[in-house]
């Protein structure tokens, strides 16, 4: 994956969102056993919300399954399985995206990283500010890595990046995510060494404490 600067072309910007499928390294020993994802994710709700509690504040993502059914189902499967807990925001690209979704436990990550999803057809939703989308390494390669658009990135729409959800609360928290490391963290090393590597080399990197499905807020009753 490439680093971002304000003068990079759109093509290089997209490279930031590509999963490092070729960065395969030995998995660290001693990681706890966790069930692997199902070949086809179980069908999730047509709409649901996920609250992320992070080191820089909380935010809520609302998922609409019809936008990207396979992506929405995988996200629900991963969240309910606790996959995103303790995940680091390993790439923060100013005026572009925040990216995350590599599990801090190498053994867990190994089980999920090859569980590729088929692409979802475009549903007319654009990569606008706050939209949440899977990163890819090409056609039909989505697994667990996600990015949050922190500005309007409409040029991604024609490149196979299909949003499945939107941040509906907490964009101010996302704006506080530490960007000092940019894209310096090496995905291959994250895959093999997990959070031990990130904590040692990038000690101020922000992270997800928990990600949980939550009930939507009750609608206020109209007053007479």
The tens digit of pLDDT for each residue in 33-61 reads 456 798 899 999 999 999 999 999 999 99
Q: Render pLDDT for 53-103 as a digit per residue (tens, 0 to 9).
A: 999 999 999 999 999 999 999 999 999 999 999 999 999 999 999 999 999
What domains can be seen in the chain, in order of their start residue? 54-214 (2.40.100.10)
The answer, yes or no, to whether residue 3 has pLDDT greater than 70, is no
Tell me: pLDDT of 26 over 60: no
Q: Is the pLDDT of residue 24 over 50?
A: no
139-142 contacts, C-beta under 8 A, 24 or more apart: 140/116, 141/19, 141/21, 141/116, 141/117, 142/70, 142/71, 142/74, 142/116, 142/117
For the segment 114-128, the average pLDDT, to the nearest whole number, is: 95
Q: Which of 6, 58, 62 is nearest to 177 (CA)?
A: 58
Task: Please give the Cα distance from 156 to 14 (Å, whole number).
Answer: 7
């Amino acid at each position: 994956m490439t680093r971002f600067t304000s003068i990079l072309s759109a093509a290089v910007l997209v490279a930031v969102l590509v999963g490092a499928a070729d960065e395969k390294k030995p998995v660290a020993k001693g990681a706890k056993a966790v069930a692997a994802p199902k070949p086809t994710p179980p069908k999730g709700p047509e709409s649901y919300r996920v609250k992320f509690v992070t080191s820089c504040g909380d935010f809520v993502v609302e998922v609409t399954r019809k936008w990207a059914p396979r992506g929405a189902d995988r996200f629900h499967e991963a969240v309910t399985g606790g996959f995103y807990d303790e995940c680091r925001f390993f790439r923060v690209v100013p005026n572009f995206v925040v990216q995350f979704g590599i599990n801090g436990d190498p053994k867990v990550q190994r089980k999920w990283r090859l569980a590729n999803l088929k692409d979802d057809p475009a549903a007319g939703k654009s990569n606008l500010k706050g939209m949440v989308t899977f990163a890819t390494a090409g056609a039909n390669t989505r697994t667990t890595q996600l990015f949050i658009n922190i500005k309007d990135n409409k040029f991604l729409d024609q490149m196979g990046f299909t949003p499945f959800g939107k941040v509906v609360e907490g964009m101010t928290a996302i704006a506080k995510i530490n960007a000092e490391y940019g894209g310096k963290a090496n995905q291959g090393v994250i895959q093999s060494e997990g959070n031990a590597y990130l904590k040692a080399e990038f000690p101020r990197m922000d992270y997800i404490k928990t990600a949980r499905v939550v009930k939507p807020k009750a609608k206020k009753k109209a007053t007479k």
